[in-house]
């Protein structure tokens, strides 16, 4: 093989360009902080990184679902605590009204307070979170409870429920969903809370001690039903706490695995960059010395 100046020059230029390309790669890595800046550099790693990105996006969605469910459950628990306080007060008033020494006027005054407590319960039954009513089932944009005292002429209660028994569910993990709401039907209607209070007020106004005692027992049963609901919510809340911790740990693990593939070691990469920079400058200097001599230089 005949060695010519052109062949030497092309070889030098090719080697200089190769060193420049390698140095440029390390420059891109240092500026971006990523070991891979283009899919063509390592298709296998890019596939794995995309898989981790998809898992992180899914993880973030589950985290948002858990946060939404927790907010709903906690707000519901606050409402149930208030409902329990109202019923406790109603029971105290019923005990007082059942006292045979009470006058009719005193019982009527108690009946007026019971009537006010019904209004407070309606407000709590209409509790909302972010414009969505807690106890309306699927009808979260519909006010669940209204009151019409004229209904007492034909109905046992003056309060009407406008929601349904729909369950609100959140997916908090793959194929794992929870029900985080309590519908007004099971909470108020089936337990007869409003009915019992309306009937208690009527018994107080009528001086009917037997009826007062009957409603006293019904209110006690309603309080127990509320406590059962609160216990169920507490179990859901504890489960959400555990799911949130698990989701956070999974996020850390997936992020660490992605980082191992995607992120660079800055100290190591900078060392390689410095080495390639030195090689590049050395190849330029050597190339300049190699390419200068020619036949013209010896014919002077």
pLDDT along the chain (300 residues), means of 10: 64 69 68 67 78 91 94 95 96 92 92 96 95 94 95 92 94 90 94 95 93 94 94 93 92 84 66 70 68 56
Helix, strand, coil proportions of the chain in percent (round to 5)? 70, 5, 20
129 belongs to a structural domain: yes
Question: Cα separation of 212 and 179, whole Å?
Answer: 37
61 belongs to a structural domain: no
44 belongs to a structural domain: no
117 belongs to a structural domain: yes
Mention every residue, 6+ apart, whose C-beta is less than 8 A from residue 196.
215, 218, 219, 222
Per-residue burial over 153-162, b if 16 or more Cβ lie within 10 Å, else e, is eeeebbbebe
The range of the structural domain enclosing residue 210 comes to 77-256
- pLDDT recorded at residue 48: 85
Question: Cα separation of 187 and 84, whole Å?
Answer: 12
- pLDDT recorded at residue 35: 64
Question: Cα separation of 90 and 196, whole Å?
Answer: 10
- pLDDT recorded at residue 64: 94
CA of residue 213 relative to chain centroid, distance? 46
271 belongs to a structural domain: no
What is the SS3 assignment for 178? Answer: strand
Among candidates 182, 165, 157, 163, which has minimal Cα distance to 83? 182
CATH of the domain at 210: 1.20.1330.10
Report the number of distinct structural domains present in the chain: 1
Give me the helix-helix angle, 209-262 and 43-97, nearest 10°.
170
249 belongs to a structural domain: yes
Determine whether 127 is exposed, middle or buried from the number of CB atoms within 10 Å of its CB (0-12, 13-18, 19+).
Answer: middle
- pLDDT recorded at residue 28: 66
Q: Residue 13: enclosing H or E segment and its boundaries?
A: helix 5-32
221 belongs to a structural domain: yes
- pLDDT recorded at residue 43: 78
200 belongs to a structural domain: yes
Q: Are 34 and 264 in contact (CB under 8 A)?
A: yes
- pLDDT recorded at residue 271: 74
- pLDDT recorded at residue 1: 56
Mention every residue, 6+ apart, whose C-beta is less than 8 A from residue 198.
118, 152, 156, 157, 158, 159
């Amino acid at each position: 093989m005949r060695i010519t100046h052109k062949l030497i020059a092309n070889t030098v230029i090719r080697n200089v360009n190769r060193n420049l390309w390698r140095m440029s790669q390390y420059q891109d890595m240092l500026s971006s902080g990523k070991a891979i800046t283009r899919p063509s550099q390592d298709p296998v790693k890019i596939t794995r990184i995309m898989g981790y990105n998809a898992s992180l996006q899914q993880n973030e969605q589950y985290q948002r679902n858990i946060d939404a469910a927790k907010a709903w459950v906690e707000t519901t628990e606050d409402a149930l605590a208030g409902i329990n306080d109202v019923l406790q007060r109603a029971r105290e008033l019923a005990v007082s009204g059942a006292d045979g020494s009470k006058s009719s006027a005193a019982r009527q005054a108690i009946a007026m307070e019971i009537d006010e407590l019904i209004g407070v319960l309606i407000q709590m039954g209409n509790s909302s979170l972010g414009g969505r009513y807690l106890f309306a089932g699927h009808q979260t944009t519909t006010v669940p409870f209204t009151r019409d005292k004229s209904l007492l002429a034909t109905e046992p209660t003056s309060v009407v429920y406008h929601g349904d028994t729909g369950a609100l569910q959140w997916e908090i993990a793959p194929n794992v969903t929870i029900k985080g709401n309590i519908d007004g039907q099971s909470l108020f209607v089936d337990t007869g809370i409003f009915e019992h209070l309306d009937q208690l007020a009527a018994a107080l106004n009528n001086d009917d001690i037997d009826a007062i005692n009957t409603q006293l027992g019904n209110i006690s049963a309603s309080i127990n039903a509320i406590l059962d609901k609160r216990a169920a919510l507490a179990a859901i809340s504890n489960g959400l706490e555990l799911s949130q911790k698990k989701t956070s740990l999974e996020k850390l693990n997936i992020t660490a695995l992605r980082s191992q593939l995607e992120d660079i070691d800055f100290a190591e990469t900078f060392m390689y960059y410095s080495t390639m920079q030195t090689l590049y400058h050395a190849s330029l200097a050597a190339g300049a010395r190699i390419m200068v001599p020619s036949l013209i230089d010896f014919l002077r």
